[in-house]
Structure 1
Amino acid sequence: MKQIVKRLLPRPALRAAAFRLPLRQRVRIAKLLAGGPVRTRGPVAPAASSPARAWHDNLQTVTGLLDAAGLDYFCVPHTDPKRSAVAVAAEHRAAVLRLLRGQGAAQVVRTLDTAGRRVSPQRCAVVQVHRAGTGRAGAPQLDGAYACEIEFWATVKDKGWQAPRQVGPRAHKVGTVLSVDNPVQYVPAERLSAFMPRDGEPRYRSRAVYAEPGPTDVRFPIDVVYTWVDGDDPAWRIRKAQALGEDPDDSFAGLATNASRFTSRDELLYSMRSLHAFAPWVNHIYLVTDDQTPSWLDLDSAYVTLVSHKEIFGDVGRLPTFNSHAIESRLHRVPGLAEHFLYFNDDMILGRPVLPTQFFFANGVAKFFPSSSLVDVNPPAPADAPVDVAAKNNRRLLQERFGTQLYQKMRHVPYPLLRSVLEEIETELHVESHATASHQFRDRGDLSIPSSLAHYWAHSTGRSVPGSISHTYIDLGRLIAPVMLARLVRQRNVDVFCLNDTDSAVADLAEQAGMVRDFMESYFPFHAPWELSGRMDLTQRTRQPEPAGAPARG
């Protein structure tokens, strides 16, 4: 039956029929599409299993073998930042192959030509090496994508050169022709790959020509800021109920206060794991909350700083606030925040390795990612959603300030931001910015600053330009969601994905949470270094009881 479903489900008629099934049966189909059960038992892998760690491990395996054998080598930047490369003289090819054969089944060794095609050992120009094994439940996590590749360089002696030259077998970013007297220099991993963090250690044997950054290399720190709320926290829900009692609910605020908007499915846990896996170059993570702490977060971690709303609001605005526009209007007040940072919602999750240059240019100019969705050209209307009213307010201010028209919304992906632009907006739009901060719930006077206004403001002042990023959005309330999740966990073919649910019935939330957890644990089967080692098993967690005085969910 499994093979029949896998073979036939792609046909439109059967797929449409499957989407009409009850949720439990759709989840079963999703698991079949994923090639087997998505849920996996047992402990997840430690943080050392990350792609960045695999990059280091594979490179250190190769350099360790060469050092032990006394073979000369130097590391060069690979054209694929996910891989490392080591140059060895061509006359040592046979010796290198003998060394690798002695490693047995612990290492996967492939002999390749310059185009990456498999060839016999006698004809190879490159040898690819990586540790054997895959991620948990067979998901390909740390395979050849992070391999080390040994290149065999020829030595050439010409009369026109004072010293012999070494010539590489394939193209490289800096060049493949080096004088043998170019000095040896030990460089940090960041000089060999833009994917690697700016740790400084360990250092690898290379050449002086590779030690200096190029004009397109991002050299400044890039932080990440999250805003997060645990909507299942009884204390938070009491605060929200009291605020609603002080400011009676109207139809506009009600659009932004339903249960599904604040339901936690531990998206933050997995979004931050995705940073660990796919953006190890991030400098620091700031988590902005209403004095809430995720149960799994190690507060002593050097990687993450918890920031209270009180720290960024000061004497501006009104706390507690349940208005994301208000919180976002104060992000530039995060203490210690770098000039360049990415703003993540907790439902924004990296799906594969990304580089700093996907978000910023080396000269500091930011990128933004316009959506194909358009902002209604009409003035704000009573039926408009809160986000649309804020976009129209942004448009009016941009027209007044720069004489430009705002047409497009932004994609729901991480937002590259400049702290100085946000500070400038607060200064020049002082009244509007502080009014947004004062609204406890979404209001018709709100601005959406870091998710829209700041990008157009930066573009109008020469500090941001449009970019592109691969992404997908999955609405968990749609019937198709289980199958979309199954395909995504198999293909892993987007830079960013978002899982969201704006208006599901309460009865569906528990099943959705289980489905999301199954998917996430398959995609990210490891701990990040900021997670408590003894954290509770998320698959066994029980729902907190409803606090007295809390508003009805749904």
Structure 2
Amino acid sequence: MNDALPGPQTLPTPAVSAPAGWPAPATPAGEPDDIREVLVDGGRRRAHMHADLSPLRGRQLNVAAVAGALEAHGVDHFLVRGMDDRTPVIGVNEEDRVAALGALEKLGAAGPCYVSQVLPKPPIVSALRDAADPAAWVDLHRARALKMTWFRIDPTEKLVLGAAYGCEIEFWRPDRKADVLRAPRRNRMMPAVSMAGVPVEVGEHRFTRLAAATKPGPRFRTRPEFDHSLPDDIDFPIDVVYTWVDGADPEWQRRRAEVKGEAFHAEAASESRYINRDELKYSLRSLHLNAPWVRNIYIVTDRQRPAWLDLSAGNIFLVNHEDIFPDRSALPTFNSCAIESQLHNIDGLAEHFLYLNDDMFFGRPLAPQTFFLANGNTKFFLSQNRIPIGPITSLDSPVDAMIKNNRRLIEERFGRTLTQGSQHVPYPLRRSILAEIEREFPAEHARTVRSRFRSATDLTITYSLHHYYSFLTGRALPGHVNYGYVQLAVPDLAARLKRAEARRDWDTFCINDAFSTYAQLQQQMAILEPFLEAYFPVPSPYESAGQR
């Protein structure tokens, strides 16, 4: 099972009962069962529309529909820990096949639904048939596993959840000599379960890594054999930290000009290259859709707040610079390296967290194992760029100069020469290691903290130093993501974004804010905003009602 999962496609659930505490399989109360026809993979499918759709929500709805139908017909069943985080799997005793197929056929007739054979593997893989057609079930009476698929879409019809999230039903063979039920194929845990086992209800995190053990959620009927933690299961909380600034804010520009000793001209400021693209709003949407296991979100800012931001969800917080800088004389600061050096001072921050700029996005559903190991160690993602050997020169970019400062510390401490930076992906960090770096390199760290603007003497800690220091002290390993990088100042920007939206094969991607004229930025906005809205059409809980 891969850590990175293919994303949803772009372009009323059956009214059955579900066990207490499970998500209702029907559309939300008071919302009509809106059926739309959508084009998917060159074919037209009838789909259920949901205003609150997400990959995890779609999975929950499909489990509830199948489990509810089996329960309503008295068919014993249990959830299985399958090989794909998106696809739920339910096990049924082979001796209950006739009753189970009868319940599922009735479920398929209740609304737009599709059925397909999974095992034995059919000649045409994933050939979906209308589950309301009795003929579709004729060939399934000997199938060892089949799948029920509901297509689910958001109101814009841009987010489409299809067969990857369909619920698979396996028929487990009784072995009375061994007193077990044997699985028809491999799963992540057990080849067999006891025939005499008493069903238990366990948390959703036992069956998909998209759900977090540390967050409340539905509970599922399973067998005791599946209620165990595996060596790679992550059960610690993971937070997210953003640093954000509205560079078009005149008050922020005024403060910046005063610190630099420059005159502030309102007219010039209004024509500056700063333009608010609301990347943070779409980055939060990507987080809500594709990393639902995140616990808390902290937005570090200089007394600013996005106009659309709603903090009522209870797990998102604004953090001012004054809250994390013990040395207030270092403020105000306009140096991102200085701000990043203080992130470990955020009150309530988890030991493990992801640090993002607002131009970073989760492109498709990801497991936390993409970024962390279950033993608490972090992963890091090196870029292919190489940093020139030698002292800092006037030819070095600001980032290269700062990495050379990191290099000197690493060479002095570990005798290793770093030559690569990091990819612009969410940075997995540990709070304790950031604090340790501050203690181990006090002079260099303090110099960075007191540098109000980027300087050639700065350290770049979150981008580079944390990862190498963690690796060389045995607390990090190289990782891999399918990473996309979008440079705005290119002539074929529209074509690149269109290709990215169609493929949706990036785990994460970054939209780089390269220098452009004000007129160019306005032109880019006309292309970028529709792309972000199409890629992340579902509002997050962190947007005000008016924005939604």
Q: Does 1:301 align with 2:318?
A: no
CA RMSD of aligned residues (A): 2.3
TM-score (norm 2): 0.84
Q: Does 1:509 align with 2:521?
A: yes
| Cα distance in 1 for residues equivalent to 2:305 and 2:157 | 33
| Cα distance in 1 for residues equivalent to 2:375 and 2:369 | 10
The superposition leaves residues 254-310 of structure 1 with CA deviations (integer Å, 9 ceiling, x where unpaired) of xxxx955x5431111111111111111111111111111112211222121111111
| Cα distance in 2 for residues equivalent to 1:387 and 1:515 | 28
| Structure showing greater relative contact order (alpha-carbon pairs closer than 8 Å, 6 or more residues apart) | 1
Question: Is the contact made by 1:227 and 1:288 (CA closer than 8 Å) also made in structure 2?
Answer: yes
Q: Who is 1:182 aligned against?
A: 197
Q: Does 1:480 align with 2:489?
A: no
Change (3 A) 1:480 1:288: same
Q: Who is 2:4 aligned against?
A: none
Pick from 353, 356, 369 the counterpart of residue 341 of structure 1: 353
Change (3 A) 1:410 1:194: same
Unpaired runs of 5+ in structure 1? Answer: 1-33, 36-43, 249-257, 537-554
Equivalent residues, number: 481
The superposition leaves residues 495-545 of structure 1 with CA deviations (integer Å, 9 ceiling, x where unpaired) of 011111211111011221221110111111111122212228xxxxxxxxx
Change (3 A) 1:482 1:331: same
Q: Does 1:111 align with 2:117?
A: yes
Q: Who is 1:97 aligned against?
A: 101
Q: Does 1:210 align with 2:226?
A: yes
Q: Who is 1:491 aligned against?
A: 503
Pick from 201, 212, 222 the counterpart of residue 197 of structure 1: 212
Q: Who is 1:550 aligned against?
A: none
Pick from 402, 406, 418 the counterpart of residue 390 of structure 1: 402
Local SS of the residue matching 1:344? strand
Local SS of the residue matching 1:102? helix
Q: Does 1:324 align with 2:336?
A: yes
Aligned-residue offset at 1:115: 4.0
| Cα distance in 2 for residues equivalent to 1:340 and 1:247 | 42
AA partner of residue 314 (structure 1): P
Aligned-residue offset at 1:106: 2.9
Considering fraction of residues, name the structure with more helix. Answer: 1
Question: Is the contact made by 2:151 and 2:160 (CA closer than 8 Å) also made in structure 1?
Answer: no
Matches within 5 A, 1:11-410: 46=51, 48-103=52-107, 104=109, 105-115=111-121, 117-118=125-126, 120-135=139-154, 138-158=157-177, 161=178, 164-198=179-213, 199-245=215-261, 260=273, 262-316=274-328, 318-410=330-422
Aligned-residue offset at 1:147: 1.9
Aligned-residue offset at 1:55: 1.1
Question: Is the contact made by 1:135 and 1:142 (CA closer than 8 Å) also made in structure 2?
Answer: no
Q: Does 1:430 align with 2:442?
A: yes
Aligned-residue offset at 1:358: 1.0
Change (3 A) 1:109 1:338: same
| Cα distance in 1 for residues equivalent to 2:276 and 2:146 | 46
Aligned-residue offset at 1:114: 4.5
Change (3 A) 1:431 1:356: same
Change (3 A) 1:242 1:45: farther
Question: Is the contact made by 1:312 and 1:331 (CA closer than 8 Å) also made in structure 2?
Answer: yes
Question: Is the contact made by 1:51 and 1:141 (CA closer than 8 Å) also made in structure 2?
Answer: no
Runs of 4+ in structure 1 over 6 Å off: none
| Cα distance in 1 for residues equivalent to 2:356 and 2:306 | 16
| Cα distance in 1 for residues equivalent to 2:430 and 2:345 | 12
Aligned-residue offset at 1:417: 0.8
Question: Is the contact made by 1:229 and 1:292 (CA closer than 8 Å) also made in structure 2?
Answer: yes
| Cα distance in 1 for residues equivalent to 2:282 and 2:228 | 35
AA partner of residue 414 (structure 1): P
Question: Is the contact made by 1:78 and 1:85 (CA closer than 8 Å) also made in structure 2?
Answer: yes
Most deviating of 194-203 and 149-158: 194-203
